[in-house]
Chains A and B, each alone.
Chain A
Amino acid sequence: MAAADKVDPIHQFHINKIVPIEIGGYDLSFTNSSLFMVVTVLVASAFLYLATSGRHLVPTRWQSSAELTYEFIADMLKDSAGTQGMRFFPFVFSLFMFILVANLLGLFPYFFTVTSHIIVTFALSVLVIGVVLVYGLARHGFGFFKLFAPSGVPAILIPLVAMIEVVSFLSRPVSLSVRLFANMLAGHITLKVFAGFIVSLGALGGVGVAGAVLPLIMTVAITGLEVLVACLQAYVFAILTCMYLNDALHPGH
């Protein structure tokens, strides 16, 4: 297994059961994925709790960073969904913090990246679309379906256009989840492959060690890029959530 670790860039995504639990034939084990989700929630909560516990009028660095995150999301939500959108603030903010912290935690060596599994990101995006659907239907009733029939389209074309719009709507959670998952997966695999080059080149000795400097530089650069990607993906997920929520708040106008 030790030899396989080196050459197998997929190994980091394996799910291991920590506490096997099985209820009614379903496998509900507490896995390393679950562990890191718990860690993510704890880290995010601890950061916000500790950073805001002082409540200084002139914020400390920690408090200032927490306020910065808060205002960043609040502004984003207000810009894209209007002031009415602020009722979804806790939802969007939790999503953003969860994804951001999960992405950043995944960058630590030997840590598991929760968001590199499509089922996790898909669950998150289905949650978003579910909120959009339920809230849109509850608030606008049948009027919500105006979303699928854009105005200015000839009556004959309405069924076809509506069908396309429905498929387009349904594809949102898919593209939302695929984007987050694929970015994290691809980044971590690239990182692992380049890091693997260092080890295998270094094992050659002499010239190999000198050559290993190149992938080392690359790995450092990619790690920096990955930090950026981790933040950007959380941002993208949050802003798309805001835009979808805007549809639920103001359909068809």
Chain B
Amino acid sequence: MAGDNGPDGTGETGPRNDRKGDIRDDELERRRRELGASLAARHPKAIEGEDNAQAGGSTGYGQAFKLSSEFIAGVVVGIAVGWMVDHLAGTSPWGLIVFLLVGFAAGVLNVLRSAGLVAGFGQPKSGAGPKDLK
């Protein structure tokens, strides 16, 4: 933008918008839109790159860490819920057994979701099957 001051000869940055006529505003608006469009064209690429490198320095390590933490979280929460159900209802050990299995399932679901193979809770991914119907 700094270079644009040259041809104007004003050398001013802000106030000139108000002082000069509509042409200048339109011109600036057009430039801003062009800049926005070219930025938007680059944007998806950048986001994807960040996603790949998400959880750690090197991609593979980060990915592995992310997926394993998702899976372990599912199992751990399953155990915790099962233990609490047992504790409250006195159904030991059935609550633990059932919810451990449910926890495994939830862990696998978490992993698939975080790997982008299954649509997330609310957001249906493009072309992600039955969940798109709603």
- Chain A residues within 8 Å of B, Cβ to Cβ: 57-58, 79, 147, 150-153, 163-165, 167-172, 174-175, 178-179, 182-183, 225, 228-229, 232-233, 235-236, 243, 246-247, 250-253
Contacts and interface: CB of A to CB of B under 8 A. Distances in A.
Given A57-B14, A151-B134, 5 more contacts: A153-B130, A175-B110, A225-B57, A251-B122, A253-B124
Contacts of B120: 243, 247
Contacts of A168: 74, 106, 109-110, 113
A167 B101 CA distance: 11
Contacts, number: 106
B99 interface: yes
B106 A164 contact: yes
A228 B73 CA distance: 24
A147 B102 contact: no
Interface in B13-46: 13-14
B55 A179 contact: yes
A235 B121 contact: no
A178 B69 contact: yes
A152 B13 CA distance: 57
Contacts of B97: none
Contacts of A175: 69-70, 72-74, 110
Contact of A152 (B55, B76, B113, B133): B133
Interface in B48-70: 50, 53-57, 62, 65-66, 69-70
Given A152-B130, A183-B56, A170 B102 contact: no
A247 B130 contact: no
A165 B54 CA distance: 24
Interface size class of B (residues with CB under 8 A): 35 or more
Contact of A167 (B13, B14, B54, B106): B106
B128 to A, nearest CB: 11
Contacts of B77: 167, 170-171, 174
A232 B53 CA distance: 8
B121 A178 contact: no
Contacts of A57: 13-14
A93 to B, nearest CB: 18
Nearest to B114: A175
Given A225-B57, A236-B54, A171 B134 contact: no
Q: Which 7 A-B pairs have the closest CB atoms?
A: A152-B130, A175-B73, A167-B106, A174-B73, A171-B73, A168-B106, A151-B134
